[in-house]
Amino acid sequence: MSTNHNFFAPFADDDRADAAEKVTGRAKFTAEHAVPNLAYGLFVCSTIAKGTVSKIDESDALKAPGVLDVISFQNCPAVPGYNPAKGGFEWWGLKTLYDNKVRFYGQPVALVVADSFENATAALKLVHVSYEKEAHETDFEKNRKIEAALKPAGNYKRGIEKAYKTAPVFIEAEYKTPIEVHSPMEMHATIAIWEGDDKLTVYDKTQGPKSTQNTLAKTFDIPQKNVRVITEYVGGAFGNGLRSWLHVPAACIAAKKLKRPVKVLLTRPQMFSLVGYRPQSWQKIGIGADKTGKFIGISHSAISNSSRYEDFREGIVDVSKFLYACDNVDTDYKTLPLDLSTPTWMRGPGEVTGCYALESAIDELSYQLKMDPIELRIKNFTTINPENKLPWSAKNLLDCYEAGKTKIGWKNRSAIPGKLKENGWLIGYGMGGGVFGAGKGAASVRLILKEDGTIVLQSAVSDMGPGTSTSMVKVAAETMQMPIHKIKFSLGDSDYPPGPSQGGSGTTSTLGSAVNLVCETLKQGLKELAIQQVPTFKTLAVADLDVKNEVVFSTKDPGTIIGVAELLKLSGKPLIEITKDSGGATPEMRKYAINSFSVHFVKVGVHAKTGEVKLLQIVTTGDAGKIISENTARSQMLGGVVGGIGMALKEELTINHTTGEIENASLGTYHLPLHTDIPPIEVWFVNKPDPIVNAIGAKGVGEISLIGFAAAVTNAVYNATGKRVRDLPITAEKLGFKKV
């Protein structure tokens, strides 16, 4: 347990750099920016799931107080990216306000723009939309069984196909997961301000200011440098901010048409249909082993839904190809287009779904083998990635098994299900593992050393919550060997040097490498400057110098020393500015498989009379190289685990298939874990630097925190009750208890 829970304790080194801004409300989230003469846009959304809009009658709305315009396919100005010249950039996905086709229930068909949020809201129901309806299909369970409805999305085979069937011990099982929705606290919003015909500033909730800038520049056919995207603070995102959704161009179109700034906000119900979701899935796993537990074959099939207008795919079956040693593996993945909006990446995309099935199947097999499920995994442990045959750069999973086992009290687990009881609760222990890709992408960071010796770092990334500025300041402080409070990391502005979108657990490695590099470059520059400028340094070599605690000094003679601020003054430099790029993957990295790993352990209670499932204790372990900031990394693991509790026990988006409408598009009816659902969570990291991935030895933890967690819960519930739930979320009814 971290000791930083005493609110009166002095600030720790890795307390959030932006904590004070956030808790005092000084931090401005996208929709909160005050812009003079701002107009407010809200979407009118379709009330059919499929068909065409025959007419939009906006006359009543236009007479309502404060209404400035109602924009729809009937009057939408031309957008270059909507209708590009041959070979030009074409807007990715649905072109909002462009045509009269309805592709899903709740699709925006018009944008009401008014002088206030209230007036826009009031006018929504005065827009009269007539439709010609067509038959729709939103039912995943029904349609996944229709082979002709499916689209192939990739096959894989090594060794013998379906080899598991020839194994002395095997299991075959189907697993289902529902649609899950990101549901961050902050709702999406975009404020668009045109400063002339070809110059655009937007405030936007995005995980990638540079990617949004690029998308908008191309969509409106203006130079990239003329688009500025500002995302100072993000109130949570889990992949929903990785692409520009419909409200982003809508705000820009409206602002251009009306020649005044326009803010388009999504309402909470719209957050369930207009910014993507984790697709629904069906999976089948066959897995067989010899009598000692050595895997003989794994077969993994999956189907996940997409929309009709985009084919969204994710790596659901990929984990089965490489997580364990096995000579014979075959996978098959298909997508099912439905009359729904397009799914998107959601924390641990693909792997979350795939590991749920794989890690459940291995648990099922362990009971067949009468073998401890951890022992079974250790039996099939490998340090060579069996898919690409590359050695792992670092893989300390065995340490995770060991630590988790001790901390959760695995010795108390009964090998036979349904045997443990405490105060009327059936008790079970379970575990499940996760894996996610790690690597290093390209990112640029600018460093400014000021005359007082303080450092400002800048990069055009955004921080959706993991604490990017906090960990980047830590990397800089460690490299410079100077105090944290003298370093500031600025982000959230596309005018800064290009940084990556925050996603795929890549920020710490990618951006951290650039921060480390730019700081090393500064140290080198300071040493050279000292030799040039300071008489006592004249005869020294760079190799004999070091920089620490804001001084340059000779390692041979600690008396030869000069303060960094003094050195700047002596050189007549008001500041030093350096920009460096982390440079992406190196040839050395390509010789290795590089991943982060996790193993989650849970103790559950299932009430013997009601079937209520309660998590009693959680231990989550991570193998993600060096942990840069223990506080924020720990928080990431906590957040991922809470997401995993949601996946296992709570979350399920439901659709009324008669109308195609989402039934539970609110935080009151789409259930997320409450405080009472969350027991103490202990986080443990291996915390050993990965020698290959980058100079700082760090990999990501954002995704592994969630991947594999749901299986730990279903496995523990089986251990408690002898009942296997293969259809998330787990409910008392699915465990055979009557609804109370």
Q: Which residues pair with 132 in a beta bridge?
A: 52
State the Cα–Cα distance between residues 430 and 420, nearest whole angstrom.
13
Binding mask 240-259 for ligand MOS (x = CB under 6 A): --x-----------------
Span from 50-58, 237-245, 273-281, 661-669 in contact with ligand MOS (CB under 6 A): 237-245
State the Cα–Cα distance between residues 327 and 288, nearest whole angstrom.
12
Least distance between ligand MOS and beta carbon 510 (Å)? 12
Cis peptide before 729 (omega within 30 of 0): yes
Span from 36-44, 238-246, 575-583, 634-642 in contact with ligand MOS (CB under 6 A): 238-246
Sign of CA dihedral 79, 82, 83, 85: positive
Judged by CB under 6 A, the number of residues near ligand MOS is: 10
Q: In the 8-state DSSP scheme, what is residue 61?
A: H
C-beta closer to ligand MOS: residue 182 or 228: 182
Least distance between ligand MOS and beta carbon 277 (Å)? 12
Least distance between ligand MOS and beta carbon 559 (Å)? 51
Helix 468-480 / helix 507-533 crossing angle, nearest 10 deg:
30
State the Cα–Cα distance between residues 91 and 82, nearest whole angstrom.
6
Strand residues in 624-731 grouped as ranges (E): 655-656, 661-662, 681-685
Between residue 24 and residue 43, which ones bind ligand MOS under the rule CB under 6 A?
Answer: none
Among 184, 239, 660, 700, binds ligand MOS (CB under 6 A): 239
When asked if residue 504 is in the footprint of ligand MOS (CB under 6 A), the reply is yes
C-beta closer to ligand MOS: residue 347 or 379: 347
Least distance between ligand MOS and beta carbon 704 (Å)? 12
**Closest by alpha carbon to 435, among 516, 377, 483, 485?**
377
Q: Which amino acid is at 242?
A: L
C-beta closer to ligand MOS: residue 346 or 576: 346
Least distance between ligand MOS and beta carbon 642 (Å)? 16
When asked if residue 606 is in the footprint of ligand MOS (CB under 6 A), the reply is no
Q: In the 8-state DSSP scheme, what is residue 496?
A: S
C-beta closer to ligand MOS: residue 56 or 491: 491
**Closest by alpha carbon to 244, among 42, 95, 113?**
95
Which are the catalytic amino acids? 703
Least distance between ligand MOS and beta carbon 304 (Å)? 15
Q: Is 587 exposed, middle or buried (0-12, 13-18, 19+ CB in 10 A)?
A: exposed
Between residue 338 and residue 357, which ones bind ligand MOS under the rule CB under 6 A?
Answer: 345-347, 349
Could you tell me the end-to-end alpha-carbon distance of the chain, in angstroms, rounded to an integer?
A: 37
**Closest by alpha carbon to 612, among 739, 483, 467?**
739
When asked if residue 639 is in the footprint of ligand MOS (CB under 6 A), the reply is no
- What SS3 string covers 413-426? CCCCCCCEEECCEE
The alpha-carbon radius of gyration of the chain (Å, integer) is: 28
Span from 223-231, 235-243, 285-293, 356-364 in contact with ligand MOS (CB under 6 A): 235-243
Cβ atoms of 127 and 61 within 8 Å: the answer is: yes
C-beta closer to ligand MOS: residue 335 or 396: 335
Cβ atoms of 185 and 309 within 8 Å: the answer is: no
- Report which residue's Cβ sits closest to ligand MOS: 239
Binding mask 484-503 for ligand MOS (x = CB under 6 A): -------------------x
Binding mask 180-219 for ligand MOS (x = CB under 6 A): ---------------------------x------------
Least distance between ligand MOS and beta carbon 233 (Å)? 16
Q: Helix, strand or coil for residue 614?
A: strand
Least distance between ligand MOS and beta carbon 462 (Å)? 11
Cβ atoms of 276 and 341 within 8 Å: the answer is: yes
Interface residues with ligand MOS (CB under 6 A) are 207, 238-239, 242, 345-347, 349, 503-504
